[in-house]
Structure 1
């Protein structure tokens, strides 16, 4: 039985005000994780333009038929990516009159003296629509009580910048940062079910069914493959909708190169490429997964950690 207070919830962040993306609209997600001490809020963002000042992370929540505002901290967007993490203890949450179930919106805001821009918004409530009156609400000053509660009761803030745009990129030229291919293969075999997802099996591929993204992410990180899986909303959507991903190792007989392959299920090839131009579509059908008709595959060279285009 899961202890009271333990939960995990994901919210997709989408573009609201345009002009803040680089190479397309910014994308990202927020994750709430509850435990016995409080709630951890994590955001991962990509393709967000670096501003002259950090962005503000804002939570909008309902309390006694009114709206509450919590400015949870600042997000620096470096090299188009940003990661934010903050722990909120239950004492602080209760002092604000905030119930995690009543959080309506997560906002990434660019605040100025008389204007506020909202590059991204995550809608948590059941309404499924953005309420533009929230913007005017944010321009009003918050009460000293809320500011005091934030300063005294809420715990640590951690902000991170992306350090690499290539998974497994060796920043210092050290062998310690090379991808551990043997360990990667062993861990995939030990932790996931070996499957054959396609009708025509091939001897040069080994495939595994992935139903735990956190476990896969930890394995890749331990083997020095730094792929921001949680920062890609389309991977999360594929996993949530079809209850699995596929991952595997491809050994090319022609070039003698080895690749890590990630497959994201989708309804069809118009259903949004999770990695844009470096994806390739492979069709298949399986009644177990409803309207899914194939996978977007992305290949990563295990020798240098670069995506294969």
Structure 2
């Protein structure tokens, strides 16, 4: 028996950073995938196969439970160190988190293989897709079913081991697919709205997506270092981001293509991200070149505090611009379907 679960990546179209301060955010599922395969083992061991990282390891149940316990009790500095230096950190935490939901007599060994085409630490939702696909595969393997064992809260718990305090839009976009809005409610909670695929396909049909390379810092580190700039009553930077996100939401509902409006919104939000301090100078220079030829661009995701790379870059109106040749073009469809699970 082999259980396979596959979940797509994502990009945040509008609302990153501001979403953690009560603003709406809109993300769309991206046709790059994390695929998990789980098979039973008879020796009671947990085998991890990570060919993308050239990594092959075996663990006992207790080793993974001890690891999760240590991470839970670590300081912020210790947590950041584990995320940055341990290649299979998130997978070990995910398995440990699931084991905590099982009685010891129900534990059984398995082999787990992870393959992903999603760039890591670059705003494409690699950890969210891993959390969703891994949670789905293991829930199926251990025959844990909703409503007692819902998938989404488990995926959220796994994401916390990577980002600390995630907004939830990453893994929910991978889970649901298409285009997702995280919209704040008056009581301080939020709701998730699934948009039809046509919303992204129309207004974003001419955009290009690039990978500028992984950021030096994790998403959690970038957020922790910059969130104070969005705090306080009537914060002008936050209000600017909120205004752009609301206008972008309205744009997606329009039945006609409006590329100039899209460019204007991308420029405004990109300027806010630069004021926040999450766009490296090298990337900002490329964006200025795009704007000089009448185009627009913004980073998608947390960005970076240092270095020359900031992950995902969304571009419109700058075909064959020489400055973009240094980055990897991501040729993948937007608003794809979400999680898929099968058993063979």
- TM-score class, shorter-chain normalisation, is under 0.3
Whichever structure has more helix as a proportion of its residues is 2
Q: TM-score, normalised by structure 1?
A: 0.27
Whichever structure has more strand as a proportion of its residues is 1
Q: TM-score, normalised by structure 2?
A: 0.25
Is the radius of gyration larger for structure 1 or structure 2?
1
Relative contact order, higher structure (CA 8 A, sep 6+): 2
